[in-house]
Structure 1
Amino acid sequence: MEFFSNDMKDTILLGKKLGKILKPGDIICLIGELGTGKTHFVKGIAEGLGIVDNITSPTFSIVNEYTSGRLKLYHFDVYRVNDPDEIEAIGFDEYIFSNAVSIIEWSNYIEELIPKERIEINIEKDISKSVNFRKISINYCGYRYDYIKELSKK
């Protein structure tokens, strides 16, 4: 599925729509260059989950945990991870195989650790249309995520 965002508000709104339908144990892989709006998208997901905390990128801590919503949210940023063993050392499996929603920014850096069943989201800039224009592609792997089709109907 492809969606288009003209500004940060659109990106957050799409994330919020996704957050409202996510289920326990869902894994979301976020891919996109620096400055494409990955963390804004996560802010929207958190809002859709009912999380009221300030969402920040866990660039230096690797993972931020949010527990105030209808589901827990584990937000990973593996941009600075140099070795997959580093992410395994923080108990990565315990996080992603829990009943929380796990979002992994830069998941392509640790692809060998990510389960095959997942939601993949790619955010791309297209400055030929506008400085703030984004194309957001959402795909999923595995039958457990068939419900994601609902997103295109809303």
Structure 2
Amino acid sequence: MKTIEFTYHLKDIEATAASVLEHLVSKTILFNGSMGAGKTTFINALLNAMQSDDTATSPTFSIVNEYNIPNDKVYHFDFYRIESIDEAYNFGIEDYLNNNHWLFMEWPERIEDLIPENHQAITITDLEDNKRSLKLTINTKHLTKNTAMKL
């Protein structure tokens, strides 16, 4: 495991998202943080860094939102309202997990047994004065030798 830490002011979120994007080696990203920490806000900044014209909104009630980026898609999940793995199966989670698109997952602990092994995790902590701490955790055991050497 490797962890990269960022501290940023909300006015600098776009630059931070661009920096984080450079370190992503998996298309499955877990977003951790308390309610209101800024997970969806950071996902929106990531979408901008990925050159999307879409705006991220919280998929709390729809469970998943789809965004377009050049030559790909991002599926943004919010599992906060999921109470069992069966609910995830009922909306077709396997179809999402078995595609080659980006998966951004908020509240991933609700479907922990289904999360692909080669994921990365972003943990956002709300500091005071519009500042955030972000920890990007990279599971290095699933990296190719070339990708691992870049880190």
| TM-score range normalised by the length of the shorter chain | 0.7 to 0.9
Is 1:119 equivalent to 2:120 in the alignment? Answer: yes
Which residue in 1 is equivalent to 2:9? 6
Pair 147,112 (structure 1): closer, same or farther in 2 beyond 3 Å: farther
**C-alpha root-mean-square deviation of aligned residues, in Å?**
2.2
- Contact 1:22–1:101, Cα closer than 8 Å, also in 2: no
More strand per residue: 2
- Structure 1 distance, partners of 2:91, 2:150, is 29
Q: Which runs of 5+ in 2 are unaligned?
A: none
Q: Note the C-alpha offset of 1:10.
A: 2.6
Between the two proteins, the alignment pairs up a number of residues equal to 144
Larger mean CA deviation between 74-83 and 88-97 belongs to 88-97
Q: Note the C-alpha offset of 1:89.
A: 1.5
- Structure 1 distance, partners of 2:150, 2:117, is 16
Q: TM-score by structure 2 length? A: 0.84
- Structure 2 distance, partners of 1:108, 1:69, is 30
- Contact 1:20–1:49, Cα closer than 8 Å, also in 2: no
Identical counterparts, % of pairs: 33
Which residue in 1 is equivalent to 2:134? 136
- Contact 2:84–2:110, Cα closer than 8 Å, also in 1: no
Which residue in 1 is equivalent to 2:96? 95
Which residue in 2 is equivalent to 1:106? 107
Q: Which has the higher contact order (CA 8 A, sep 6+)?
A: 2
Pair 37,114 (structure 1): closer, same or farther in 2 beyond 3 Å: same
Which residue in 1 is equivalent to 2:34? 33
Q: TM-score by structure 1 length? A: 0.82
- Structure 1 distance, partners of 2:90, 2:6, is 36
- 3-state DSSP of counterpart to 1:72: strand
